[in-house]
Amino acid sequence: MSKWEHSHFLFQYKTTRDEFPQSVEYFHTHQQIEILYVYEGSGHVILDDRFYAVSPRTLLLFKPFQLHYIHMDIPPKYSSTLFKVSPAFMDRCALYFPRCFDMVSDFLNRSDRRQIFRLNGSQHDQLEERFRSLDGVLRASPRNLHEEAVILFALHFFIDFMTQMAPTADAGKPIKPLRKSQRVNEVLKWVDAHYKERFTLEKLADDLHFSATYISKLFRQQIGKSISEYVTEKRLEQARILLQTESLSVEEIGEETGFNSPSYFIRMFKQKFGVPPHQYRLNAAQMYASTE
């Protein structure tokens, strides 16, 4: 495994997780374009309130600020390559590679673009060669060439993706909506509509006509955390987006995302992201400025 990190991009080549007998899961959003490729492992992803199965040779693309939840089972093993790049960083190629840049913009701006694929053997080999080549270049070249290498990789990837992979790869389809999945989906949609309000399990259960005990147990079985924990993470992710995109005060953002107490909001935000909200905003602004 190798990891290359910069303010504009992140590249983790062939990370393997098998040392802990627990699942890998995360629920988040971020300002970068994310490309995740799974070599080994099985699990599921929730994207736009839909469940998708994840298996070997699954390619997943996430847009900036697109909320997604991934759960991968361990044991036996989870192996993947991760690439993230800032859209502002990609803007640099618009002048010199306008048609390539249009491909990137098309993916980002169209809501009907598929984002989850299962590659065949030749597509896997093609993508792996791109990853291996980028890793080799980053290992061998001086740091002042890394940015250009990453831009070239991203452009090549989207050319391959739009012209060869997307038209022919098997598109991921939502898992057949079994009754249990349908009920969890109803909870996800309810949280999406009500996370700004005061949360009680009883209100959710009443609105959806479920037993509070039943839906709480079912949600934890399917998602791996309680509904209350999910609501809190949803609020924190939305707050993180607002800190990067809006000029509201920290107190106003906390209130806007469902936190009744500013001190509780600040404490929970720091617990999840490592810094208090005002510092996160400053860090994000500095990172964005560095891409200008």
Predicted pLDDT at 7: 67
Instruction: Decide which of 147, 171, 195 is a domain's last residue.
Output: 171
Are both 148 and 266 inside the same structural domain?
no
134-162 confidence digits (pLDDT tens): 999 998 988 888 888 999 999 999 999 88
Are both 103 and 244 inside the same structural domain?
no
Are both 76 and 132 inside the same structural domain?
yes
The DSSP 8-state label assigned to residue 174 in this structure reads B
Residue 17 CA to its chain's centroid (Å) = 18
Distance from C-alpha of 231 to C-alpha of 229, rounded to nearest angstrom:
5
Q: Are 214 and 182 in contact (CB under 8 A)?
A: no
Q: What is the pTM of this model?
A: 0.67
226-278 confidence digits (pLDDT tens): 999 989 988 998 898 788 778 899 999 999 999 999 999 999 999 988 999 99
Do β-strands 9-17 and 58-62 pair in parallel, antiparallel, or remain unpaired? unpaired
Helix axes 201-208, 227-245, angle to 10 degrees: 100
Helix (H) or strand (E) holding 10: strand 9-17
Predicted pLDDT at 291: 42
Distance from C-alpha of 117 to C-alpha of 169, rounded to nearest angstrom:
6
The per-residue pLDDT string of the chain (292 residues; one tens digit each, 9 = 90 and over) reads 566 767 688 899 998 876 555 567 676 667 789 999 999 999 888 887 677 889 999 999 999 878 788 888 877 788 999 999 988 888 878 878 888 888 888 888 888 888 999 999 999 999 999 999 999 999 898 888 888 899 999 999 999 988 888 888 887 776 655 566 678 878 888 988 899 999 999 999 999 999 999 999 988 887 778 999 989 988 998 898 788 778 899 999 999 999 999 999 999 999 988 999 999 888 877 755 554 4
Are both 197 and 148 inside the same structural domain?
no
Distance from C-alpha of 283 to C-alpha of 277, rounded to nearest angstrom:
10
Predicted pLDDT at 292: 46
Predicted pLDDT at 22: 59
Predicted pLDDT at 181: 66
Q: CB under 8 Å to 153, separation ≥6 — which residues? A: 83, 130, 133, 134
Are both 160 and 249 inside the same structural domain?
no
Q: Are 30 and 273 in contact (CB under 8 A)?
A: no
Nearest to 127 by CA among 13, 33, 42, 17: 13
Instruction: Decide which of 171, 197, 232 is a domain's last residue.
Output: 171
Predicted pLDDT at 192: 83
Q: Are 152 and 85 in contact (CB under 8 A)?
A: no
What range does the domain containing 257 cover?
Answer: 179-290
Burial class (CB in 10 A: 0-12, 13-18, 19+), 292: exposed
Distance from C-alpha of 49 to C-alpha of 69, rounded to nearest angstrom:
10
Instruction: Decide which of 136, 152, 171 is a domain's last residue.
Output: 171
Distance from C-alpha of 38 to C-alpha of 22, rounded to nearest angstrom:
18
Predicted pLDDT at 244: 77
Sign of torsion over alpha carbons 30, 36, 40, 43: positive
Q: The domain that contains 121 carries what CATH number?
A: 2.60.120.280
Are both 157 and 194 inside the same structural domain?
no
Whether residue 75 has a cis bond before it, omega within 30° of 0: yes
Q: Are 248 and 278 in contact (CB under 8 A)?
A: no
Are both 38 and 132 inside the same structural domain?
yes
What are residue 12's DSSP bridge partners?
A: 3, 82
